[in-house]
Structure 1
Amino acid sequence: EQAPHNCQRCLRAREKRRQARRETQNLGGAQATAAQREESPSCPSSLSRGTPPSSPAAGTRQEPQGAPGRSFQRDPLIKKVGMLIQFLLEKYTMEEPVTKADLLKLVNKRYKRKFPEILRRVAECVQLVFGLELKEVKPGGDSYALVSKLHVSDDGRQSSGGRFRKNGLLMLVLGVIFVHGDCASEEEVWEFLNGLGVYVGRCHIIFGEPRKLITEDLVQEKYLVYRQVRDGNLPCCELLWGRRAHAETSKMKVLEFMAKVAGTVPSALPDLYEEALKDEEERAQARCVVRCENSLHLSGVLD
């Protein structure tokens, strides 16, 4: 006998999804129009959902209806954010402070008025992704430095922070996979990461050798699935969420992370937000079924 699962929690989740659909319907149309008017920069948050590879094993992936709306907002500021992050990480490697004048040169005059917003987003991104804090060298001064947020023990040693550092890169990769329809080509993943200064074959100060971390370490830990497929006559590789990623996080959590990196909020990305809400509802229903079945087992009904 199938256990009932229409508990109050599930009903509330379903109603939340309906409400979000109504609230984001008009927002989605407005943003789509605005996106068409803007030039799409080569940057991490402007990833559109391209045509993904297909394979006999996985079947041919097709873009869902309305796929263009699933791309992140085309935001001209994110390119500047990425440039400043790369520059700051280089200075962090050399243990050198950075002046406001240095950063303004990278931003250029066109975005000078937006500098406070750009700097705020840089600070949030380096904290989320790299575990670093952007601080003023002197309060009220015009020089900045990145400071590690790793725990310092009583003997003066820093903890490795390896898990945290992996998490930053993992959340980015999971986000790219989600944006591209739950399966992203390796090329799409690196296109995104390059915008944050993470490159194949180049040792990263925070992540080490990033390709090994993504295609070996996180695969062995079951957070990612990395497999070879064929794109026409050419072999290529793609990435999917692994078993532990499905168990330990959710599309909503990943979307919230990616939205912060892009300087926006999840509900401003209607198609992705709708899918994340659907995932939350399905998870709530699955948990409810398990609870109901356990309750029936305990009462002896299903024994």
Structure 2
Amino acid sequence: MIRMTELSKPEEDLQDPEALPQEALNEMVANLMKFLLFEYRAKEMASEAEMLKKVLRDNKEHFSVVFSQASECLQLVCGVEVKEVDPREHIYIMVPTLGLTCDAMLSSGKSMPKACLLVLVLSLIMQNGDCTPREDVWGALSKWGCLSGGSTVS
């Protein structure tokens, strides 16, 4: 099994920790991260309204906690910072902070971005509650043309 340690806890000043079970919070954070990573990969901006409509739906009151934790996880795990570009409309853009980009190529010159593989594996682990069977990871990687042993398929 592949496990990730918990990166952050809800801050008490943002939300009453008793109001939302940790499992539900983790699921919302993972879903928001998946959405933001999709937007990052598509080189799109994301608005608070869009995040509420497409991801949090019935949990709008938890937006500040979920957004804060998802942003922190993206920066710590994926090297992507969520920056507000329009404070009035609450529109955000994701920018790389570790020198990794979705356009960075493998050293062999193949067409698959390095950071994209990292983002794929980490988001898969986060979506599955910090624990993902190795077979699921390799299954997802094989869909991208990666084989075990470091070989890639063109």
TM range (shorter): 0.5 to 0.7
Does residue 107 (structure 1) correspond to residue 56 (structure 2)? The answer is: yes
After TM superposition, the structure 1 = structure 2 runs for residues 40-119 of structure 1, keeping only pairs within 5 Å, are 75-105=23-53, 106-109=55-58, 111-119=59-67
Q: Which has the higher helix share?
A: 1
Q: Which has the higher contact order (CA 8 A, sep 6+)?
A: 2
State the alpha-carbon separation in 2 of the partners of residues 200 and 74 from structure 1: 29
State the alpha-carbon separation in 1 of the partners of residues 133 and 29 from structure 2: 24
**Per-residue deviation, residues 199-234 of structure 1 (Å, max 9, x unmatched):** 34344xxxxx6x54xx434xxxxxxxxxxxxxxxxx
Deviation of the 1:161 alpha carbon: 9.4
State the alpha-carbon separation in 1 of the partners of residues 87 and 72 from structure 2: 19
> Which one of 113, 119, 123 corresponds to residue 71 of structure 2?
123
* CA separation of 1:108 and 1:80: change in aligned 2, threshold 3 A: same
**Per-residue deviation, residues 46-69 of structure 1 (Å, max 9, x unmatched):** xxxxxxxxxxxxxxxxxxxxxxxx
Structure 1 residues not aligned, in runs of 5+: 1-43, 46-72, 153-158, 204-208, 218-303
* CA separation of 1:185 and 1:92: change in aligned 2, threshold 3 A: closer
TM-score (norm 1): 0.31
Residue identity in the other structure for 1:119: F
Measured on the aligned residues, the alpha-carbon RMSD in Å equals: 4.1
**Per-residue deviation, residues 82-105 of structure 1 (Å, max 9, x unmatched):** 221222222222221111111011
**Per-residue deviation, residues 233-292 of structure 1 (Å, max 9, x unmatched):** xxxxxxxxxxxxxxxxxxxxxxxxxxxxxxxxxxxxxxxxxxxxxxxxxxxxxxxxxxxx
Residue identity in the other structure for 1:107: L
Q: Contact 2:44 / 2:93 at 8 angstroms: preserved in 1?
A: yes
**Residue 9 (structure 1) aligns with:** none
Residue identity (%) = 26
After TM superposition, the structure 1 = structure 2 runs for residues 1-303 of structure 1, keeping only pairs within 5 Å, are 75-105=23-53, 106-109=55-58, 111-139=59-87, 141-151=89-99, 160=104, 165=115, 185-187=133-135, 190=136, 199-203=140-144, 212=147, 215-217=148-150
* CA separation of 1:79 and 1:138: change in aligned 2, threshold 3 A: same
Q: Contact 1:81 / 1:122 at 8 angstroms: preserved in 2?
A: yes
Q: Contact 2:78 / 2:118 at 8 angstroms: preserved in 1?
A: no
**Residue 224 (structure 1) aligns with:** none
* CA separation of 1:200 and 1:108: change in aligned 2, threshold 3 A: same
Kindly name which structure, 1 or 2, has the bigger radius of gyration based on alpha carbons: 1
State the alpha-carbon separation in 2 of the partners of residues 185 and 96 from structure 1: 31
State the alpha-carbon separation in 2 of the partners of residues 93 and 160 from structure 1: 12
State the alpha-carbon separation in 2 of the partners of residues 129 and 161 from structure 1: 19
**Residue 11 (structure 2) aligns with:** none
Q: Contact 1:98 / 1:145 at 8 angstroms: preserved in 2?
A: yes
Q: Contact 1:150 / 1:161 at 8 angstroms: preserved in 2?
A: no
TM-score (norm 2): 0.55
* CA separation of 1:138 and 1:185: change in aligned 2, threshold 3 A: closer
Per the alignment, in what secondary structure is the counterpart of residue 101 of structure 1?
helix
* CA separation of 1:89 and 1:185: change in aligned 2, threshold 3 A: closer
